[in-house]
């Protein structure tokens, strides 16, 4: 039977392999310097705290389901190796269901405390009479640069303590693009072109679109000439202090314009009265006599079927007896 610490480390290795791509390589590198348990806590602390808590809950539920699965009642010798593997994994899950969530919870606490420490470090460097860029350790200098980049909208991943000259120190990401960051806290020596050229080669190898070389001092003119025209930004001590000062500036408050309330007068629409036009009676023009073509006049019939009615009669009656019937006049509206 394996010791409890070994079973815990094995369970963490299995969960890490399931949850993180490249997890085995990072764990192996950390194990060379620290114990396996410390290495896993360190890696969990590099995740955002809410991801660590989510992984704690997910790993606990998954391992509990494996540990509480019923044991096989009969063993088929043809599948003995499968049964043996399942039994071993169930034994690791029995221990890991308690320890793996605690590792991720410890990583979440470490992530929260680390973020608070970086903010406090940024405040101390910005405060007059506080720490300076040269008085802090190189580890705090890398944390300070990472926090300054976060305040500028980058998501920063710390690669761990590899020493003051251990290669790429930070990986910054923004809008889907990757940037490599090299930090140099050199007190007296200027950063020369070999450092800048090394970062440029790492950018090509890692597929990064840009990079930052950040120092507490200055750069040589050859280094600036090499970075010119390339997507490399050289940040010396004065520019870094400017970044820190901009990060500590309070965000501008939104201006609220007070507009006087205006009461618009109420306009009551007056009813529109339409003028009724008087009815115009059309004047009927007297027709011409069908016989002599003279003007005709209105006459009254004295006898016949139309007695009492009007008709058109020739003005030259009785010499001309031309007549026309009178039709009802048309009304023009």
Q: Which residues does 114 contact at the CB level (< 8 Å), separation at least 6?
A: 45, 143
Give the pLDDT score at 20. 45
Nearest-angstrom CA–CA distance, 36 and 54? 22
Q: Which long-range contacts (CB under 8 A, 24 or more apart) does 212-215 make?
A: 212/149, 212/172, 212/179, 212/180, 212/181, 212/182, 213/181, 213/182, 213/184, 214/145, 214/181, 214/182, 214/183, 214/184, 214/240, 215/183, 215/184, 215/185, 215/186, 215/191, 215/240
Q: Which residues does 218 contact at the CB level (< 8 Å), separation at least 6?
A: 190, 191, 236, 237
Give the pLDDT score at 7. 47
Nearest-angstrom CA–CA distance, 72 and 18? 25
Give the pLDDT score at 9. 47
**Is 237 in contact with 216 (CB distance < 8 Å)?**
yes
Give the pLDDT score at 45. 76
Was domain 138-248 assigned CATH 3.40.50.12500?
no
Burial letters 186-219, b for 16+ CB under 10 A, else e: beeeebebebbeebbeebeeeebebbbbbbbbbb
Q: Which residues does 118 contact at the CB level (< 8 Å), separation at least 6?
A: 143, 144, 146, 147
**Identical fold at 138-248 and 280-333?**
no
Give the pLDDT score at 60. 87
Query: What are the sequence ranges of the domains in the chain?
Result: 4-126, 138-248, 280-333
Give the pLDDT score at 284. 65
pTM, rounded to two decimals: 0.52
Give the pLDDT score at 289. 86
Give the pLDDT score at 199. 93
Give the pLDDT score at 93. 83
Residue segments in the chain with a per-residue pLDDT below the cut of 50: 1-9, 12-28, 30-31, 33, 280, 332
Instruction: Please choose, from the candidates 212, 157, 145, 153, the residue with its C-alpha nearest in 3D space to the C-alpha of residue 22.
Output: 157
Give the pLDDT score at 191. 92
Give the pLDDT confidence of 201-245 residue by residue, as tens digits.
999 999 999 999 999 889 999 999 999 988 899 999 889 988 888
Fold topology of 280-333: N-terminal domain of TfIIb (2.20.25)
Give the pLDDT score at 332. 47
């Amino acid at each position: 039977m394996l010791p409890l610490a070994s079973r815990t480390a094995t369970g963490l290795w299995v969960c890490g392999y399931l949850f993180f791509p490249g997890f085995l390589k990072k764990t192996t590198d950390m194990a060379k310097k620290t114990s396996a348990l410390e290495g896993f806590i360190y890696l969990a602390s590099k995740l955002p705290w809410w991801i660590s808590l989510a992984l704690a809950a997910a790993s606990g539920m998954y391992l509990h389901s494996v540990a509480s699965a019923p044991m096989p009642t009969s063993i088929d010798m043809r599948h003995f190796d499968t049964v043996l593997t399942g039994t071993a994994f169930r034994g690791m899950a029995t221990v890991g269901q308690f320890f793996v969530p605690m590792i991720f919870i410890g990583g979440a606490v470490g992530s929260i405390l680390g973020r608070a420490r970086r903010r406090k470090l940024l405040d101390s460097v910005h405060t007059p009479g506080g720490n300076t860029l040269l008085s802090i350790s190189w580890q705090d200098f890398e944390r300070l640069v990472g926090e300054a980049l976060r305040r500028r909208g980058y998501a920063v991943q710390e690669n761990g303590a590899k020493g003051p000259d251990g290669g790429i120190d930070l990986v910054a990401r923004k809008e889907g693009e990757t940037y490599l960051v090299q930090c140099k806290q050199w007190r007296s020596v200027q950063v020369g072109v070999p450092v800048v050229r090394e970062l440029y080669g790492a950018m090509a190898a890692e597929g990064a679109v840009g990079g930052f070389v950040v120092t507490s001092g200055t750069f040589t003119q050859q280094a600036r000439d090499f970075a010119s025209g390339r997507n490399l930004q050289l940040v010396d001590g004065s520019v870094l202090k400017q970044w820190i000062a901009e990060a500590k500036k309070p965000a501008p408050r939104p201006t609220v314009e007070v507009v006087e309330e205006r009461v618009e007068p109420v306009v009551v629409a007056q009813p529109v009265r339409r003028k009724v036009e008087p009815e115009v009676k059309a004047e009927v023009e007297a027709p011409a006599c069908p016989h002599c073509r003279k003007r005709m006049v209105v006459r009254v019939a004295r006898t016949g079927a139309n007695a009492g009615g009007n008709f058109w009669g020739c003005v030259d009656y009785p010499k001309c007896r031309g007549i026309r019937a009178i039709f009802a006049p048309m009304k023009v509206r």
